Structure 1
Amino acid sequence: MTAVTTTTFKGQRTNRLPAEVTSFIGRRHEVAEVKRLLAASRTVTLTGVGGVGKTRLALRVAQKLRRAFRDGVWLAELATLHQPGLLAETVVEALQIRGHTAPPIDVLTGHLHDKHALLILDNCEHLVHECAVLAETLLRAAPDLRILATSRQALGIPSEQAMPVPPLHLPDGHTPRPSLATLAQTDAVRLFTERARAVLPTFALTEDNREVIARIVRRLDGLPLGIELAAVRLRALSAQQLLDRLDDRFRLLNAGSRAELPRHQTLRALIDWSYALCSDEERLLWERASAFAGGLDLEAAETICSGRGIDRHDIVHLVIGLVDKSVLIREDHPCGLRYRMLDTLSAYGRERLAASGQQDWLRERHAGYYRDLAARARADLFGPRQVHWLTRLHLEHANLRTALEQSYTGPDGARAGLTMATDLLYHWTTSYYPAEGRRWLQQGLAACDVPDDVRACALWAGGWLAIIQADEPAATTMLHDSRRAGERLHDQHVLGYVALFSGMIAMKEGRTAEAITLYEQALARHQAFGDPGGTALSLIRLTLAYSHAGDTPSAVAAGERCLALCESHHESWHRAYAMMALGIQAWRQGDLCRATDLQHKALTVTRSLGDYLGIGITVEVLAWIAATQRRHQRAARLLGILQTVWASAGAPLSGYGHLAGHHDACEQNTRQALGEDAYSAAVRRGARMPLDEALAYILQEEPLTGRGKGRQRLDRLTRRESEIAHLVARGLTNKEIAACLVISQRTAEGHIEHILTKLGFSSRSQIAAWAGEQARTQDRPAAGR
């Protein structure tokens, strides 16, 4: 190593970090994680899309660590550096080294070789190769040096730990409405509120504007830069006016702080910078990936985005490149790996796609792929891959919706859209989309009046959805038209489903004997046609009808036949409903233990699929069982939970109207046993419970228990949070926790952040140690036993 003589200004502070001029919001978990990584690795690179707050996070970490580095914490700002050859010289200047004549790289290695310091290389993405070479050279020469880099792409050196910086935590748009206080503590809302107050001192988050503010920060993906630019607009716009104009966000959010770099002053300039860093093929894939809604997987990218300048075999490498550049975000799901693009980047890509003239071509390829996906799912639905398909369709819902819109207006005409909407029938019924599914079917039926098999199937499918929505008159009309078409076509498949759903209407109207006859006709036709799904549905309904008629042997026989059929095909969803039906029969017979066990098993399946209808009917039966056992507090709370479930499903006892009398009797008996005030209070407690917590309560999933201060802390956790604390203690990653609990990885991360907040911790290791101690405390006998 060449000895180099250098000097610094006398009396100069060794921590050259800019002061924070605005408040730092949230990021406690990220700060703790970066500190942990720096303790274990010599290089940590914060990656993420532009505007996500990488620089602010790096500076906050550096401020907290400044006393840990005796030779200082130094910031080298590289955003304005466009000549790679000046990189080492720029770092020399950042370190305040003066009086040198040797080459800059020799100056740096000579100056740092014995220093215990932290060097921040900020905004490396346009100089990734040069920064990687510099970092590797400095780390080899200076054993006590640590480097913290920020970049939209990792440096790719051996000593590096890359940490993706996520957007700020957002309000969940799918869970019941949180309290105003809870919403106000969400990081994205906090940032918007504080920045809004800076320009409008009277601004406050209120019950009147809470939904608008939540929608604004969600539309901006939780990007700090976008939120700050939007908040400034409250000088001239109301919150609602701001939200209404976010479709044109690049024009609206066009002026930030004049003190910022030009590319940080507008949202468009920020994204232009990311776009310029991509290769021509990566830009093409960015544009084409923007046509997806809600994410995509590799198979979809290869099928839809290839051609016209991109070879199919190159897609995987281009996806890797866009993930590296923080344009695509990798997400792990139980049914496979997916990629998501922030809506801000997607909107930018759609503008570019429209300007390229390839929008129509890509839209039709997208629609064709998802029509084929729906058909494949429908053909493979009764079997071992059923949960996989239903989970995948749920994840693809936004893409399915986009494909349906295109199919109804595309060159294949309404028939293609009507076929797809019918193929998605189980998607509509096992999720909370029956109303939407019915609208898609009605749109196709109105535009496609040819009396063929496509229309005949769409009619009985629409009839089923109408029954779920308790619209029996509309269902009767559609089933009548479907029957006429089926008879004209001599289509036993169609006639089997018409008989099945006609039996459901008869059952609701109290014509039990007629319903049994219709169900038996449906069963015979489905068996003759070789349709196991129709056969299973017919057997489930026969179980319920025989039970209602008091024919116990026939009810049990039909239910057991259905279970055997499902088990032979390794099928789950119909099996869950068969267990539910057999559980009702067991309850009627007074076998409450078996009835409860069957409902719990059924609920486990429907819960994993997010099937609100299935969840609702099993919770109904469990409420009746609790009332029969005179557990009236539990019964009342279950009735409160049902209010939330049936509201999500679309109608109380959807498709099971003949059981309404049991619900009424349960409610009346429970109210009488508890008294009006206690009954109402218990119902309210159930109705206020988040669904995850409610289902854990129903399945008797009790939280960890402990004593003393640990117990008090644990009592502040929800049951789901306690469950996740257990899994953290077992060493599971966020991905593994998500797969175990059948939730998204982002949801798991949100729960862990809440746990850290409630317990006052800053790392997963603290959660693990604490949860382990609680478990050990629980296992130890109490004093005096």
Structure 2
Amino acid sequence: MTAVTTTTSRGQRTNRLPAEVTSFIGRRHEVAEVKKLLAASRAVTLTGVGGVGKTRLGLRVGQDVRRSFRDGVWLVELAALHQPGMLAESVVEALEIRGHTAAPPMDVLTHYLHDKQALLILDNCEHLLHECAVLADTLLRASRDLRILATSRQALGIASEQAVPVPPLSLPDGHTPRPALDTLKQGDAVRLFAERARAVLPTFAVTEDNREVIARIVRRLDGLPLGIELAAVRLRALSAQQLLDRLDDRFRLLNAGSRAELPRHQTLRALIDWSYALCSHKERLLWERASAFAGGLDLEAAETICSGRGIARHDVVDLVIGLVDKSVLIREDHPCGVRYRMLDTLRAYGRERLAASGHQDWLRERHARYYRDLAARARADLFGPRQVRWFTRLHVEHANLRTALEESFDGPGGARTGLTMATDLLYHWTTSYYLAEGRRWLERGLAADDVPDDVRACALWAGGWLAIIQADKAAATTMLHDSRRAGERLHDQHVLGYVALFSGMIAMWEERTADAITLYEQALARHRACGDPAGTALSLIRLSLACSYAGDTASAVAAGEECLALCESRRESWHRAYAMMALGVEVWRQGDLRRATDLEQQALVVNRSLGDSLGIGVTLEALAWIAVSQCRHLRAARLLGILQTVWASVGAPLSGYGHLAGYHDACEQETRKALGEAAFATAVRRGARMPLDEALAYVLQEEPPTGRGEGIERLTRLTRRESEIARLVARGLTNKEIAASLVISQRTAEGHIEHILTKLGFSSRSQIAVWVGERTRADDGTAPGE
């Protein structure tokens, strides 16, 4: 039976809510009511029509109450999830729980959350209403200190739920003759329209001349935030009166439709219809086709998947720009490049149009084929300088990869196509939060496709590796046995090399060190013969560790250094980090503590950049052992405390490296003896309570990310232009005013502000202003960045 002991992979960095780039308008009463209900109720659901602002309200409440939840506020975005069976897995991913366990995702969640004081925001539940209700009820029963805030077009219907209807924004009173202009401008709907209008038309203002027109526009839109924002964009090309005229015409026509439809539903639909009508024919086609993506897309994907049948590939970039200008697509910066996403309401509309066009099946196949090819390209480019970039890109594309896998398993190629893709994504499963999901995809394909060929043989050893990481030795042994039989029948040295490698891991698990060394040597010979650098590196890493454990210093060092040379010749990072870890263990055993420390810290830097909890844990173990050898017992105890957090995130101490447990036990025993029980317990407790980012900075002897020195550390993160914009924010300038002051576009200014918020770890403009003020006072009048 597999133990379920897991936590978030990034320790206690628990504010996982997106930053507010635009201002939050109104909703004071609703925010206060929801906060009051959350204090008294276990579950609160914000209900209302699409576009009314449920998500934005939920996020604002989450930001306001985050200090009340010791273990954090977590957002689970469900709009892109269309497989009900993946709901629990999606929550596991949102909580950043590492999947190093074979337990079902719901068991992982209930175990992880049972003692947590946390708020879980389930956003866009309406298309998974029953599944969300079951999940919410199950989690609330398992954890007495958990709160759930859901957004949905209807209540979940669970016993502990408080439903809060989210109304449209407050509107000008149509029965009061000409209220004072200041009173009109303070209304939430008018304020939102005016602010969003200034984003596209810097000179816009609500005046005595246009007040009646603006009031009629927001009333005509029933105060729906999404409708108001979409309408305000039209002021790029229209006057306020022209905008109102076209709204009136559109809605009079709409009144001939069903009387059963709520007016605000009709209004939003009509507005999106109108936005659609204002697009060119090709822009409409791209809108429809972009709606098939889950979680967003980049330009390459748009050009490859959306071109054809009326759109030339070279036209796609201009069409994307057009849809961004029309606020249909939203531009976002990611480490792997610029991406585009679509609001869920607009995506749902596009999918309706796509289904009506008759191109849906054609586009789904193109989407699946593109992401199958992306997975294959990532696997082929695994061992080289682009490795980390591939890891990052696959993580960002996970929702699309999942959709493509589903289509591949259900499409013309059947399970075989899906199985190939799942195998190609092996390193995506092992280096991210999706290990348990990857194993399920592989097992689904293996159960459905029993053709005894190389595809199945590779999937079997890949599944065996995942099972080893999850400490499921029985399943791993069975899969490796079946893979070996297939490899022998096919005379496939590639397959037999990996079977030997992972069989060696099982032998080390069972303390059969000599057998393990023999298996690793067989694996190494086969991978060298096949010219497989990844297999060669993995075999050398494991061989180095096994020889070191057996006391064969020369062989351990030779294997470790050969692996380092191989990785450095290819400019590869991930395997190199594990090679440094393995070599560092043997160098420590020889007594060269300075070099051992250097090797382990270099490995830790790489593993930290990838968020690889397993790699972080093994290197921290070695650093703790080194600290004891240096008689730095307080540091060793602190490291043992940090390791409690790390190993909990992995699911088991030294997962896959259990033969090293003796070193851990000796380290703990000697540290406890040197410090005494009370001092040892205090130091361990202090380490266990450290946020992981701060803990790793401590281990690497960096300036910690919190506490003393924080302002200077943050200061160095901002570019000169970002520092300049931060000062303008502190002066109270709007995005539009900042753009005008610096002679840049409004969109560029917004992008800079988003970068500033991300770099400083802030969620609002007011935090930037406070920070600038503090730095100015601290530096005796010197502004940030100067």
* Global fold match (TM > 0.5): yes
Q: Secondary structure at the match of 2:595?
A: helix
SS in 1 for 2:654: coil
How far the C-alpha of 1:421 sits from its partner, in A, is 0.7
Partner residue of 2:314?
Answer: 313
Distance in 2, Cα, partners of 1:663 & 1:682: 16
Counterparts of 2:9 and 2:341, CA distance in 1: 18
- Is 1:372 matched up with 2:381? no
The whole-number CA distance in structure 1 between the counterparts of 2:59 and 2:559 is 59
Q: Deviations 1:186-226 (Å, cap 9, x if unpaired)?
A: 9999999954366679524469449x889x99997953599
Q: What is the CA distance between 1:371 and its match in structure 2?
A: 0.4
Aligned-partner SS, 2:37: coil
Q: In 2, Cα distance between the equivalents of 1:404 and 1:419?
A: 10
Q: Structure 2 counterpart of 1:223, which letter?
A: R
Is the contact between residue 456 and residue 482 of structure 1 (CA under 8 Å) also seen in structure 2?
Answer: yes
**CA shift digits 1:625-662 (9 cap, x unpaired):** 22332333332332233233233334321211111222
Is the CA contact 2:329–2:340 (under 8 Å) kept in the aligned structure 1?
yes
- The answer to whether the aligner puts 1:754 opposite 2:762 as a matched pair is yes
Q: What is residue 263 of structure 1 aligned with on the other side?
A: 221
Kindly indicate whether the alpha-carbon contact (under 8 Å) linking 1:717 and 1:755 is maintained by their aligned counterparts in 2: no
Q: Which residue of 1 aligns with 2:257?
A: none
> Which residue of the partner structure matches residue 37 of structure 2?
203
Matched with 1:683 is 684
C-alpha change, 1:715 and 1:225, in structure 2 (3 Å) is closer
Partner of 1:571: 572
Which residue of the other structure, out of 30, 37, 56, is the alignment partner of 1:223? Answer: 56
Counterparts of 1:484-503 in structure 2, within 5 Å, are 484-503=485-504
2:592 alignment counterpart: 591
CA deviation vs aligned residue, 1:240-287 (integer Å, no higher than 9, x gap): 999643768895589525725233544564562644543332232222
Give 1:636-655 correspondences, 5 Å limit. 636-655=637-656
- Give the secondary structure class of the aligned counterpart of 1:330: strand
CA distance in 2, matches of 1:517, 1:241: 51
**2:541, 2:578 within 8 Å by CA — same for their partners in 1?**
yes
1:384 aligns with 2:217: no
Amino acid at match of 2:716: H
In structure 2, distance between residues paired with 1:533 and 1:745: 41
Partners of 1:184 and 1:484 in 2: how far apart?
A: 50
Counterpart residue number, 2:633: 632
2:11–2:693 CA contact under 8 A, matched in 1: no
Q: Which moved more, 1:574-583 or 1:306-315?
A: 306-315
The Cα of 1:458 is off from its aligned counterpart by 0.4
CA distance in 1, matches of 2:26, 2:420: 45
Give the number of the structure whose alpha-carbon radius of gyration is greater. 1
Contact 1:220-1:344 at 8 Å conserved across structures: no
Higher normalized contact order (CA 8 Å, seq sep 6+, divided by chain length): 2
* TM-score, length-scaled by structure 1: 0.65
Question: Residue 328 of structure 2 aligns to a residue in which SS?
Answer: coil
Change (3 A) 1:309 1:504: same
Whole-angstrom CA distance in 1 between matches of 2:152 and 2:357 = 19
Q: What amino acid is aligned across from residue 659 of structure 1 in structure 2?
A: L
| Alignment-derived partner of residue 728 in structure 1 | 718
| Consecutive unaligned residues in structure 2, runs of 5 or more | 1-7, 65-119, 130-150, 155-164, 172-188, 190-217, 227-264, 726-751
**SS of corresponding position for 1:446:** helix
The residue type paired with residue 461 of structure 1 is: A
Amino acid at match of 2:402: R
Task: Give the match for residue 464 of structure 1.
Answer: 465
**Counterparts of 1:310-349 in structure 2 under 5 Å?**
310-349=311-350
Q: What is the 5 A alignment of 1:521-670?
A: 521-670=522-671
Structure 1 residues 198 and 575, CA gap change in structure 2 (3 angstroms) = closer
* SS across alignment from 2:762: helix
What's the CA shift for 1:698?
1.9
Residue 295 in structure 1 maps to residue 264 in structure 2: no
The residue correspondences of 1:140-219 to structure 2 (distance < 5 A) are: 194-196=28-30, 202-205=36-39, 208-209=42-43
Task: State how far apart, in whole Å, the 2-side matches of 1:189 and 1:174 are.
Answer: 31
Moved more, 633-642 or 366-375: 633-642
Secondary structure class of the residue paired with 2:338: strand
Q: Give the residue type in structure 1 aligned to 2:757.
A: E
Partners of 1:432 and 1:648 within 8 A in 2? no
Indicate the residue corresponding to 1:126 in structure 2: none
Q: Which residue of 2 aligns with 1:518?
A: 519
Q: Deviations over 1:26-47 (max 9, x none)?
A: xxxxxxxxxxxxxxxxxxxxxx
- Give the superposed CA RMSD: 4.2
Aligned to 1:715: 707
- Determine the structure 2 residue equivalent to 1:100: none
Cα distance in 2 between the residues matched to 1:634 and 1:191: 49
- In 2, the alpha carbon distance for the partners of 1:256 and 1:219 equals 6
Structure 2 letter corresponding to 1:203: L
8 Å contact kept, 2:26–2:169:
no
Which amino acid counterpart does residue 715 of structure 1 have in structure 2?
G
**Helix, strand or coil: the match of 2:716?**
helix
Alignment partners' CA distance in 1, 2:600 and 2:304: 42
Q: Aligned-pair distance for 1:318? A: 0.9
Aligned counterpart, 2:126: 245
Residues matched between the structures, number: 573
Letter in 1 for 2:566: L
Contact 2:52 2:167 (C-alpha < 8 Å) held by counterparts:
no
How far apart in 2 are the matches of 1:622 and 1:341?
46
Instruction: Indicate the larger mover: 317-326 or 625-634.
Output: 625-634
Aligned partners of 2:19 and 2:315: how far apart in 1? 44
Q: What does the per-residue CA deviation read over 1:410-450, in whole Å, with 9 as the maximum and x for residues that have no partner?
A: 11100111101111111111223221111111111111111
Matched, 1:396 2:397: yes
Task: Indicate if the aligned counterparts of 1:331 and 1:745 stay in contact, CA closer than 8 A.
Answer: no
Contact 2:497 2:523 in 1 (8 A): yes
List alignment gaps of at least 5 residues for structure 1.
Answer: 1-172, 232-238, 705-713, 736-743, 778-785
Query: Offset at 1:728?
Result: 1.9
- In 2, the alpha carbon distance for the partners of 1:632 and 1:350 equals 61
User: For residues 396 and 366 of structure 1, what CA distance do their matches in structure 2 show?
Assistant: 12
* Distance in structure 1 (CA, Å) of the matches to 2:34 and 2:387: 53
What is the rounded CA distance, in whole Å, between the counterparts of 1:217 and 1:468 in structure 2? 43
- The 8 Å contact of residues 13 and 691 in structure 2, kept in 1 or not, is answered as no
Deviation at 1:686, TM superposition (A): 3.0
Query: Do the aligned residues in 2 keep the contact of 1:303 with 1:312 (CA within 8 Å)?
Result: yes
Question: In structure 2, what is the Cα distance between the partners aligned to 1:468 and 1:283?
Answer: 47
Q: Give 1:316 deviation, angstroms.
A: 0.3
Q: How does 1:82-121 map to 2 (within 5 A)?
A: none
Inter-partner Cα distance in structure 1 for 2:444 and 2:606? 32
Q: Distance in 1 between matches of 2:59 and 2:546?
A: 57
Cα drift, residue 399 of structure 1: 1.4
CA distance 1:338–1:776, change in 2 (3 Å): closer
Q: Which residue of 2 aligns with 1:363?
A: 364
Query: Structure 1 residues 589, 649: CA separation in 2 closer, same or farther (over 3 Å shift)?
Result: same
Distance 1:263 1:246, change over 3 A: farther
Q: Following TM superposition, by how much is the alpha carbon of 1:320 offset from its aligned partner in structure 2, in angstroms?
A: 0.7
Give, in whole Å, the separation in 2 of the partners of 1:346 and 1:558. 53
Cα distance change, pair 692–731 in 1 and its aligned pair in 2 (3 A): farther
**TM-aligned CA deviation for residue 774 of structure 1:** 11
Q: CA 1:631/1:226 → structure 2, altered by over 3 Å: closer, same or farther?
A: closer
In structure 2, distance between residues paired with 1:348 and 1:605: 43
Structure 2 counterpart SS, 1:700: coil
Equivalences for 1:118-133 in 2 at 5 Å?
none
Deviation at 1:533, TM superposition (A): 1.1
- Higher mean C-alpha deviation, range 666-675 or range 362-371: 666-675
Q: TM-score, normalised by structure 2?
A: 0.65
Contact (CA 8 Å) 2:307, 2:313: kept in 1 or not?
Answer: yes
Q: 1:653 to 1:764 in 2, by over 3 A?
A: same
